[in-house]
Structure 1
Amino acid sequence: MKTRMLSMLVLGAAAFAQASGALAQAASAPQAQAGAEAETQTAVADYNAGNLSTALKEFREAADQGNRLAEFNYAMMLLNGEGTTANVDEGRKWLLKAAQANMSHAQYVYGKMYDDGDFVARDPAVAHQWFLKAAQQGHVQAELALANQFLDGRGTPRDNAQAFIWYKKAAEAGDMTAQYVTGSFYEHGGDGVTVNLNVARAYYAAAAAQGDPAARLKYQDLSRELQDEAKKQQSK
């Protein structure tokens, strides 16, 4: 989970840099909220500079004021034992706060904990609830996780039609794995999906462009198949 935290911190820093002007002009925003956002921005900078104990303190101060990014990052530092001794119970508590505040990435990470059994007893049904919340907000990793659960019947009854819906959403958002699986659905059909080799080839091509070697082979196979079919039609 450490890598997820680092990813979110980088995103947080970028978001703050982009919104700095808006923060200065946000007359309608409560002063406390603006202060918590500024405190979180400072904490992100300190974390990225390696000042972990300082960042931990700053995240906690901003988290106490209800900043969701601060809640999430404070939770992850506690869970990872960064800048402090690991404290799983306290880390889970703050991660849940961020998830309950409708932060989609916190919802995904909280669900992933239950899906994998990290820091908690494995419970795919609980994971499913949080994946769904995050996926409904367009969180791509959650969309893929939800699709996998529907395909496997893990934490929810098996439902290939629902799996396809969520794989396609993640594929359209650029997820390589989802692009491959969506291509496979269109190649083979079933569960409400009509076979369409041209569409399948397009999804395989998208995954291949991101470096998936299996998708590249699928793209090549379907290209040959479609060419052969076109030649047969022309010869009639």
Structure 2
Amino acid sequence: MLSHRLLVLAAPLFLATAPLAHAETAALRCDQLAAHPGDPQKPAGIAGVATGAIEFETAIAACREAIASDPAPRFHYQLGRALYDKDDTAGAFAEIAIAADAGLAVAKAQLGYFYDQGIGTTHDLKKAIALYRAGADANVGFAAHNLAVVLRDEKDAPIDHAASFALFQKAVSLGYDQSLVDVGFAYDTGNGVTQDYAEALVWYRKAAEKDIPEAQNNIGVLYEEGNGVAQDPAEALVWYRKAQAQDYPLADFNIAHMFANGVGMTVDQGKAVELVLAGFEKGNADDDAFNRDFLFEDSWPAAFWSALQIKLSLPETGTLDAATRSAIEGLVGA
């Protein structure tokens, strides 16, 4: 950190040192309140604060004070994080861009996410990929993870499952726990690696130990379908319930599917409908779109459609007809 520059060098000692101590205190507060847990360049002894958990008003004040004395890139980045948590996306983008332009790796990774999602700026996947790659090369775990997701899922980018798998592995090695699920998913689906359900379960269990609901849900799927383990609907339900307890919407749909088809339990279409609607209430637009597609699969019985149609005050046909499709589309992102 650059020290505060004092113009009057001949000032008495107590006058010279007080502003410096004050600047260091502001810098320390900014670090403590808004550093990213995955920033490999954050000061020693600073744990970092997760996005969404920043005490943003206090952090904004501390980081602005720190910048006034020392415009170091990390203070601009941390101010941007606090502004993001305050829902000031334009301000967040501006501050994080300053830090990224100055070469701060974690800021480049964050700016990549903003371009990827169109947050505070227009969507630009090409810029996002370049920034993610710069962050990943500098050992920012979430940059490696996000780039891996793009290379696996993004329809507007060249799909490269092998590179994606390697990046998920790198993210795990850097302590980014969410990627544990994705390494498991690669083994589950055979994307970038030889399909191996038993190995998928190993990685899902590692993630489940971190209370990651996607992993808990996916373990449930393995048990429900008997992939890599003996088929066990009761054990599947245990894992779905764990994910459901963390408000993971797909778990609601998976349990609903079990009720609708009587898998390991008595058929209960009313409960299935209740869970489906609860899942839509919990989910964001991406969750809802995925779960809509699950509903549109040919695996829900006529009695389920009748129960859903009655609940939604639609004509009861017992089929996924045009009116029912339209009503479900209206639930997506609502």
Superposed pair shares fold, TM > 0.5: yes
- Greater share of helix residues, 1 or 2? 1
Unaligned runs of 5+ in 1: 1-7, 25-30, 225-236
What does residue 243 of structure 2 align with?
A: 207
> Does 2:228 match 1:163?
no
Are the aligned partners of 2:54 and 2:82 in contact in 1 as well (CA < 8 Å)?
no
Q: Spell out, residue by residue over 1:98-133, the C-alpha distance to the aligned partner (whole angstroms, 9 max, x if none).
A: 122222221111001011134411121211111111
Does residue 153 of structure 1 match 2:176?
no
Q: Does 1:70 align with 2:107?
A: yes
Q: In the comparison of the two structures, how many residue pairs are matched?
A: 203
Q: CA contact under 8 A between 1:208 and 1:216: conserved in structure 2?
A: no
Give the counterpart letter for 1:127 in structure 2: S
* TM-fit CA distance, 1:11: 3.0
Residue pairs, 1:80-229, within 5 angstroms:
80-183=117-220, 185=222, 191=228, 202-210=238-246, 212-213=251-252, 214-215=254-255
Matches within 5 A, 1:23-102: 35-47=72-84, 48-50=86-88, 52=90, 54-102=91-139
Could you tell me which residue of structure 2 aligns to residue 11 of structure 1?
Answer: 50
Residues 185 and 46 (structure 1), Cα distance of their counterparts in 2 relative to 1, 3 Å cut: closer
Percent of residue pairs bearing the same amino acid type? 25
Letter in 1 for 2:100: A
TM-score normalised by length of structure 1: 0.65
* Aligned residue type for 1:207: A
User: Is this contact kept in 1: 2:140–2:174, CA < 8 A?
Assistant: no
Provide TM-score, normalisation by structure 2: 0.48
Q: Which amino acid aligns with 1:42?
A: L
Give unpaired runs (5+ residues) of structure 2.
Answer: 1-37, 39-48, 64-68, 267-334
The amino acid that maps onto 1:115 is R
Distance 1:207 1:221, change over 3 A: farther
What does residue 30 of structure 2 align with?
none
Q: Is the 8 A contact 1:172 1:179 kept in 2?
A: no
8 Å contact from structure 1 (residues 128, 146) kept in 2 = yes
Determine which structure has greater relative contact order: mean sequence separation of CA pairs < 8 Å that are 6+ residues apart, divided by chain length: 1
Query: Does structure 2 conserve the Cα–Cα contact (< 8 Å) formed by 1:204 and 1:216?
Result: no
Q: Give a deviation string over 1:115-163, Cα, whole Å, max 9, x none.
A: 1134411121211111111233443432222212111111211122221
Give the structure with higher Rg (CA): 2
CA contact (8 A) 1:183 1:201 kept: yes
1 CA distance for matches of 2:190 and 2:255?
25
Change over 3 Å in CA distance of 1:12–1:183 after alignment to 2 = closer
What is the root-mean-square deviation of aligned Cα atoms in Å?
Answer: 3.9
| Per-residue deviation, 1:210 | 3.5
